[in-house]
Structure 1
C-alpha cells in the first residue's frame, strides 16, 4: 500500500516525494520484519568549551586542545561551547532558513533564478534510489560560499548567510589548525587550501515522514571533507556509530556539533575518525539544520606523512568523482575503502 500524507499547507512546499517514489513507497509493505530503523539510546557527545583557548594559563589552553584531539580520535564527533557565534545570529539564520524552505516547491526548484545560487544548489530526496533503504526524506540548499560572498546587505538571506559563514569559517580553520599541528603539519595548509570559495553551507529541512521507521531523513554516510560544523534544532534525529552500534545525539541548544570528514581521516592516516552517521525521520515534526563543510581546492592532494601509509595519495577531485560514480552505480557512497593501499 502506498502511504499518503494528509492535505495541508505543507503540500505546496514539500518536494513531490510520493509521486517520484511511488513504486519505492509501495515496497514498505514488503519490508521484512526486523529491518526497520530501531530506536536507539540517546547519548551526549563530548563537550569542549573553547573559551579555554583564550585562557591566560598555557596549561589550560593545552588541555582544551587535548580534549579536541581526543574526541576526534575516539568519537569523530564532539560539541563546542563558546564558539564565537552568537545565539542571535544562529536564531536569525534559522529564521531565514525556515522562511526559504516555506517557499513553494516550484519556486525552490528554480533557485538559480530567484536566489542566484548556482544551478543544482537545491536538492531533494535521492535521485539515484533503487530501494526504500536508499531514499532520503529531506530537501536542502547546498550552496558554495562563492554564491553568497559580497552580498553587501542587498538581500537579508544572503547577508545573514555570509555573516554566519564568515564566523563558522574562522571556527573551522581554528579547529583544523589544532588537529593539524598535533600531526606535525602546518596550519598554513588549511589557510591555503580551504578558502571560502571551496567551502559550502548546506541548509537542511526534514519534512514529516509517513513511514519514519523505514525511511531515513539522510542515509547513513560519512562526510567527504576535512571538517563539518553543524547547527541543529531541538527536534533531534542525528545518529552516529559508536563502539559498533548506532547512538542518538542528544540536542544541546548552546553547542555546535563538529565532526571529522574523510579527508582528515586519510590525511591523518586514521588517527582521526570519519564516523558514519545518519538522520532518522519524524512522523509529526519537521527538523532543520545547517552545516558548514571545510573543503579544499579540487586539485589539493591528500597524503599522510606517516609511514606506512594506509591510503594512496589522491586529489580531492579524484575522491569526489569516485564517490559520485559509486553513488550512480551502487546507490550509495563507498568512500575511503576505495583508496586503501
Structure 2
C-alpha cells in the first residue's frame, strides 16, 4: 500500500498498520539527489578493506566500533563468530547515532579525505528529513489510535534516531544464505531507503512476499515498540532480506525509539521502558541465540 505524506489519509494509514505493519511512502519531501548520494557515498566507504573499515569507524577512546558484519548491529559484539557459518547474515554495515554526528572525530578519526565529511553532512541532512517524517507519521498514528498526545509525546524521541547503512554482497549460492535473518525491529518506526536490487520480504498470511523497490519511495515498517504502544492493534512486521547472486544490494534505514525513561503502558503488557526491552533482548540473544521480544513482557491471559 502506498501513502502520500503530503496528504496523509488516516484511514489508509490505519489499514496499513493493522493489516500489514508496513507501507510505501511517497511525496515525502526528500530530494532524490540526497537519497541516491547517500547510497553512493556509503558504497564508496564499503569499498575500503575490512581492516580499514574497522580502523576508521572506531571511536578509539571508547573502543566502540560503528562497523559491523555478519550480524545485526544489536547482536552482542563477536556473536557472529560464534554462530554456525550458514546462520551468519550476509551483510555488513555502519551503525550511526545521528545526535553524535556533529563531532567529526567521533567516527572518522580526523580523516582528511573529503568523502568522510561529505558522508557525515549527507547523514545530518538526511537525519533531519527522517525526524520530520517519523514525527508526522507517529502523530497521525496517535490520532488514529485515540491516544493521549501528551502521554505519547515521549513514546517517540528524535534524539534516539540512528541510521544503519547496509551492504549485502552478492552470493553465488543465494538460496543458501540470508542477507538478514527473519526478525522484527525493536523500534517504534523504521524507514528504509533502498536501491533497485530488491530482496526485502515480509511475512503475511503464512507466506513470504517480496517488496518490490520503486525509485524515490520509502518503506516504513512498524517495530515492536509501536505494537506495544498500540496495545497490539498495530503489528510489528516480520521480515527478512534475501541476497542476490548477481548484484550487491545497498540500503539506508532510519530507526527511532521511545525516549529514555519513557514507560510504555498497555493492558496487554507489563509496564516497561525501551532500556528494559533492549536489556532483555540482549540477554536472550546471548543465552538463547535469538530474540524473544515482546512476549517477555506479555501479561498472561490466565493472570
**CA distance in 1: counterparts of 2:61 and 2:256, whole angstroms:** 22
Q: 1:70 aligns with which of 8, 11, 15?
A: 15
The TM-score, its normalising length taken from structure 1, stands at 0.77
**CA distance in 2: counterparts of 1:97 and 1:223, whole angstroms:** 22
Q: Is the 8 A contact 2:263 2:272 kept in 1?
A: yes
Q: Is the 8 A contact 1:134 1:332 kept in 2?
A: no
Q: 1:289 aligns with which of 233, 236, 251?
A: 251
**CA distance in 1: counterparts of 2:263 and 2:184, whole angstroms:** 19
Q: 1:266 aligns with which of 204, 219, 228?
A: 228
Q: Which runs of 5+ in 1 are unaligned?
A: 1-45, 54-63
1:169 corresponds in structure 2 to 131
Q: 1:87 aligns with which of 28, 32, 50?
A: 32
Does residue 48 (structure 1) correspond to residue 6 (structure 2)? The answer is: no
**CA distance in 2: counterparts of 1:164 and 1:226, whole angstroms:** 19
- Give the superposition deviation at 1:196: 3.6
CA deviations 1:54-86 (Å, max 9, x no partner) are: xxxxxxxxxx12111110110001001101111
SS in 1 for 2:30: coil
SS in 2 for 1:141: strand
2:275 corresponds in structure 1 to 317
Quickly say closer, same or farther: Cα 1:189–1:285, change in 2 above 3 A. farther
SS in 2 for 1:103: coil
- Give the superposition deviation at 1:51: 2.5
Trace 1:170-185 onto structure 2 (pairs within 5 A): 170-185=132-147
Q: Is the 8 A contact 1:132 1:215 kept in 2?
A: no
Q: 1:217 aligns with which of 170, 175, 179?
A: 179
For the aligned residue pairs, the C-alpha RMSD in angstroms reads: 2.2
2:199 corresponds in structure 1 to 237
Q: Which runs of 5+ in 2 are unaligned?
A: 72-77, 105-113
Quickly say closer, same or farther: Cα 1:280–1:148, change in 2 above 3 A. same
Does residue 275 (structure 1) correspond to residue 198 (structure 2)? The answer is: no
The TM-score, its normalising length taken from structure 2, stands at 0.86
Does residue 157 (structure 1) correspond to residue 115 (structure 2)? The answer is: no
**CA distance in 2: counterparts of 1:267 and 1:302, whole angstroms:** 6
- Give the superposition deviation at 1:211: 2.6
Higher strand share: 2
- Which has the greater radius of gyration? 1
Of 174-183 and 103-112, more deviation after overlay is shown by 103-112
**CA distance in 2: counterparts of 1:120 and 1:69, whole angstroms:** 38
Equivalent residues, number: 281
1:330 corresponds in structure 2 to 288
Q: Is the 8 A contact 1:177 1:186 kept in 2?
A: no
Q: 2:87 aligns with which of 134, 158, 162?
A: 134
Of 267-276 and 184-193, more deviation after overlay is shown by 184-193
Q: Is the 8 A contact 2:59 2:65 kept in 1?
A: no
